[in-house]
Amino acid sequence: MGGKPACTLGEVKNRADLIIYWGGNPAECHPRHFTKYTLTPKGKFTPNGRKDRTMVLVDIRETPSARAADIFLQIRPGRDFEVLTALRAIIKDQPVDPERVAQTGLTLDQLRDLAGRMKRARFGVMFFGMGLTMTRGKYMNSSAILTLAAELNAFTKFIAMPMRGHGNVTGADTVLRWTTGYPFGVCFNRGYPRYNPGEFSTIDLLVRGDVDAVLVVGADPAATMPQPAIEHLKRVPTIVLDPKVSTTMRIARVGILTAATGISAGGTVYRMDEVPIPLRPALRSPYPTDEEVLRRIRQTLAARTDE
């Protein structure tokens, strides 16, 4: 694995001349990505905006984002890892079997063309979405695209960035990393942080029934999780903090109403490039913020454990 070659969206705007979206549909899911950061803005080294850039879309179906692309590469579902691996080989001038490439839905010529563009780019960026990270291969696909980006740095400047979704999911990764050293699924039951996806991931914990109380904040798992996980949420005492009486709050032992992030609660949210952005809430909520409530619960718990 090659680590995570990263940059800010400001650098993309000012420098990137090859923009690749992989397994994502920004036109519908991140509507201002093209106009604010990647395609149309005129940057310091991209003075002509859209004309200075080439956009490639790799996906299993032709989404509305394809209309914005110069090149659309339609691959067969579940073949991302193979395409990425073939690209890694082509970039290093290794032999690749055209018949096996054909199984991905693309031709060797198409891949050679893309590999050539990648190497010739002044500054390339691959944005990857859930079409890559949540399909066959999962984190191995993420690893493959990050490795490809890292290896391309032998030829030019290249980065890869996940297209993170709603709210502050990027912040969750970032805060957990700088407080515990790990991005998610961190266990403190031995007094120090331990990380083990599968063992300490929420769905596994709930389905196995490993946890005996749950505090939910900034999520509504009862609306989205598999039924066995929801059954366990109902079985154990659950505490929910939410700006509205959510589906999960309805099955919870304790529900606490809080101010809505960015609407009536201030603070900081991380953009997908991990740049922290301050919020400017326009309304005043009658409810306290999640931050205040969590702090009060911690102080009350600390007072109890001191006794």
Partner 1 sequence: MAVTVVQNATCTFCGCVCDDIELHAEGDRIVKAKNACSLGEAWFLHHTAERLYPDALIDGQPASLDAAVERAAEILDRADLPLIYGLSNITSEAQREAVFLAELAGGIVDSHTSL
Binding site residues, ligand SF4, CB under 6 A: 30-32
What tokens were used for 61?
A: 């179906």
Q: Which is nearer to ligand SF4, 141 or 170 (CB)?
A: 170
What tokens were used for 283?
A: 């309304």
Closest CA to 261 of 237, 244, 248: 244
| Binding span for partner 1 by CB under 8 A among 11-19, 64-72, 98-106, 212-220 | 212-220
Q: Which does 89 bind (CB under 5 to 8 A by kind): partner 1, ligand SF4, none?
A: none
Confirm if 174 and 274 have CB atoms less than 8 A apart: yes
Q: Which is nearer to partner 1, 28 or 109 (CB)?
A: 28
Could you tell me the smallest distance in angstroms from the CB atom of residue 268 to ligand SF4? 15
Considering only residues 165, 228, 231, 235, which one is a binding residue for partner 1 as defined by CB under 8 A? 165
Q: Which is nearer to ligand SF4, 2 or 281 (CB)?
A: 281
Considering only residues 18, 146, 170, 230, which one is a binding residue for partner 1 as defined by CB under 8 A? 170
Cα R_g (the chain), whole angstroms: 22
Near partner 1 in 71-130, by CB under 8 A:
none
HSE-CB at 266 with a 13 A cutoff on CA atoms is 6
Could you tell me the smallest distance in angstroms from the CB atom of residue 154 to partner 1? 29
Site string for partner 1, 225-264 (x = CB under 8 A): -----------xx-x---xxx---xx-xxxxxx-xxxxxx
Q: Which is nearer to partner 1, 31 or 98 (CB)?
A: 31
What tokens were used for 219?
A: 């999520």
Closest CA to 200 of 176, 222, 219: 176
Q: Which is nearer to ligand SF4, 79 or 164 (CB)?
A: 164
Residues 6+ apart with CB under 8 A from 299: none
Concatenating the DSSP letter of every residue in 144-196 gives HHHHHHHHHTTTSEEEEEE---STTHHHHHHHHHHHHSSSS-EE-TTSS-EE-
Q: Look at strands 18-22 and 71-74 and give their pairing.
A: unpaired
Q: Which does 174 bind (CB under 5 to 8 A by kind): partner 1, ligand SF4, none?
A: partner 1
Q: Which does 108 bind (CB under 5 to 8 A by kind): ligand SF4, partner 1, none?
A: none
* One-letter identity of residue 25: N
Q: Which is nearer to ligand SF4, 31 or 197 (CB)?
A: 31
* One-letter identity of residue 62: E
